[in-house]
Amino acid sequence: MNSKRLLLVSGAAIVMIFAAAASAANSPLPNSIFSARTVYIDNESGFAELSNVAYLELSRWGRFEPVESTAKADLAIVLTGSSYVRFVAESERPVYDARKVSVRPAELPEAAPAGYTRVTLQDVKAGKTLWSGLVKTDGPRVKGKLLDGFREAYDQADKIRYKR
């Protein structure tokens, strides 16, 4: 009788451990995001209009305060397109190595497919990517909302956080 009870309790404990692990794995954002207050918009897409769209959407949402530099930010939203554009001062020479497949800096998120913009949320201090998603765009024009995917991931993580 005791061995059956021990087996039943062990089985229940294993099921609970797997359920907790699955719940944690489905959490789209880490809990640390809820303590963040400021966000920097780093537009690497080549379209200045997308910075304005992101800024307006963040302002309307009201959850994070947009700031003008990463030094003042808890998080960074990096917007990348299908190509890489970088400002080169007149006094500098562009750096290009024909042997390299890409001149895209390693610290930037992966390029988006043509017709899309990748929206990546990064922890500024840790340098980690917390979330990434693709948004259908037509150059500087957004088909829908630029930050909807991030807002949905945030809301889902918030529900999971309060469910525990």
**Domain layout of the chain by residue ranges:** 35-163
What pLDDT score does 26 carry? 44
pLDDT in tens, the chain (164 residues): 577 776 666 655 564 554 444 443 344 688 888 999 999 999 988 888 999 999 999 999 999 999 999 999 999 999 988 876 566 778 887 665 555 544 445 555 677 888 899 999 999 998 899 999 999 988 778 877 899 999 999 998 888 877 76
In degrees, to the nearest 5, what angle opens at C-alpha 77 toward C-alphas 150 and 66? 100
Q: What is the pLDDT of residues 89-104, one digit of tens each?
A: 788 876 655 555 444 4
List Cα–Cα distances, 159 to 13, 26, 61, 153, in angstroms: 25, 12, 17, 10
H helix or E strand, kind and range, residue 3: helix 2-26
